[in-house]
Amino acid sequence: MRHKQTLGYVLVALTLVIVVTSAVLGGWQLHHAADIERQTLRTQQLGSAAFQLETFFSGAQADPNAAAERPEARANVDAAFRGVERHDSAEAARIRPSYLAYVQASDRAFAGGNADQRQEVGQRLERLESVIDVEVARKAHATRVTNPRARLALIFAAAAAALLIALLIWQFEMQRRAGRIDRDNAEEARELMRLRDEFVATVSHELRTPLTSIMGYLELISDDSFAARTPEQETFLGVVQRNAERLMRLVSDLLLVAEAKNRELDLDVHDVDLQRLVTECVEAAKPAADAKQIELTVRYGAPAALRGDPLRLAQLMDNLVSNAIKFTPDGGRVSVSTASRNGHTVLEVTDSGAGISDADQTQLFNPFFRTHSATAQAIPGTGLGLTITKAIVDAHKGTIDVRSAVGYGTTFNVVLPRDSV
């Protein structure tokens, strides 16, 4: 289908060029034919004006007052010749010798009036009329050549236009079919995504109940100080409890993502001490940073109070800071800062990690998406942290964006209104 569409585009472009070229050539030929017709009329008007000048000889004999009108007739002849010369200098050059010979002979004969001179004027007029007839015949031949060419070019343009319409209809039909296929694929993809989300939500709900029971019984076993357990059993019990807690966090994240996709998150809004929240988050992340010898710093600049859900905001900060530490190599830097800007609170988390490519940035907040560097370096994670972070920011009517370049680290910028929640 794609190759056919490409071929269709090429054919449409070629046909359009042919239509435009043929129409331009046909129009030019018609314009040229019209110019020839107009020049023919000018040449014929020159012959008529010359003949009118000749009639003054006989008119002057019958009516002496007719001699007074000859200057106007003489001027008409000159004007007719200048008209021919202005539009076709080559034709005027061929006519000029006969024209000048005639008008000069006519002027002498009218002034002298003897029979020999009048006979010469008649001969000169016949010569001029003969030259004019040749020019008129030449233009008639040019018209007979130009008109068929113009008709042929216009017919070719009309045929090409019909072909262009047919190609456009064919192209439209291919586009319609391709669009229908794309729509079908999009609908199928949306349906698969909906089924996936329903499956994740259902499985998460089903897992939550047995996990709650498992963790409850683990706590009972751990709290039973009278039970005799060997050190090895204590180790096994700790492994089971840690993995159960990890699985419970994963189930909670899945349920949170499902909730965020269906509707906005429910928030328990209170006044939040932002400085305290950030401090607790940094302190909680410090052991992980120390383990990798990462310099973890914080800078405060925003007002102390913020309206929001403290648990969700703490989860937001934990996700961003833990991600920054996770993706920063040993000996790197992670900084957390707060600021106030135009009535909004700004939270920034910056790391000196490997950075994120432009292609990955477009999908960064999609559920289960992991960057190529995370996959290549086998960094653990589920691809839900930033999705949850984005959902929390949206629920607080805020915005989140990322600035990053491969090899130059990453900065996540969160902007939250102070009191719009």
SS3 content of the chain, % helix, strand, coil (to 5): 70, 10, 15
What is the distance of C-alpha 400 from the center of its chain?
26
Please say if the pLDDT value at position 411 is more than 90: yes
Q: What pLDDT is attached to residue 158?
A: 75
Q: For residue 349, what is the enclosing H or E element?
A: strand 344-351
Q: From the options 1.20.1260, 1.20.120, 3.60.21, 1.10.3130, give the CATH code of 2-175.
A: 1.20.120
Q: What pLDDT is attached to residue 224?
A: 59
- Residue 216's CB is within 10 A of a number of other CB atoms, namely 10
Domain 270-417 has CATH 3.30.565.10: yes
- Residue 178's CB is within 10 A of a number of other CB atoms, namely 14
The dihedral built from the CA positions of residue 22, 25, 31 and 33, taken in this order, carries a sign that is negative
Q: What are phi and psi of 356, to 5 degrees?
A: -125, 135
pLDDT tens digits, one per residue of 95-148 = 888 888 888 888 777 776 666 777 777 788 888 888 888 888 888 888 888 877
Please say if the pLDDT value at position 324 is more than 80: yes
Cα angle value 193/199/201 (rounded, 5°): 105
Q: How confident is the model at residue 210 (pLDDT cuts 50, 70, 90)?
A: low
247's tokens? 């699985």
Please say if the pLDDT value at position 377 is more than 60: yes
Q: Are strands 344-351 and 410-417 parallel, antiparallel or unpaired?
A: antiparallel
Q: Are strands 344-351 and 333-341 parallel, antiparallel or unpaired?
A: antiparallel
Q: How confident is the model at residue 331 (pLDDT cuts 50, 70, 90)?
A: very high
pLDDT tens digits, one per residue of 36-72 = 888 888 888 888 888 887 776 555 555 556 566 778 8
- pLDDT, average across residues 201-209: 56
Q: What pLDDT is attached to residue 72?
A: 80
Start and end residues for every CATH 3.30.565.10 domain found in the chain = 270-417
Helices (H), 113-230: 115-223
Q: What pLDDT is attached to residue 203?
A: 56
- Residue 302's CB is within 10 A of a number of other CB atoms, namely 20
Q: What pLDDT is attached to residue 164?
A: 72
Q: State the average pLDDT for the chain.
A: 77
Q: What pLDDT is attached to residue 258?
A: 64
Start and end residues for every CATH 1.20.120 domain found in the chain = 2-175
* Pairwise CA distance, residues 399 & 295, whole Å: 27
Q: What pLDDT is attached to residue 218?
A: 67
Q: How confident is the model at residue 186 (pLDDT cuts 50, 70, 90)?
A: low
Please say if the pLDDT value at position 255 is more than 70: no
Q: What pLDDT is attached to residue 180?
A: 57
Q: What pLDDT is attached to residue 253?
A: 65
* Pairwise CA distance, residues 168 & 12, whole Å: 7
Q: What pLDDT is attached to residue 17?
A: 78
Q: What pLDDT is attached to residue 153?
A: 74
Cα angle value 212/214/218 (rounded, 5°): 115
The whole-model pTM stands at 0.49
Contact 80, 49 (CB under 8 A): yes
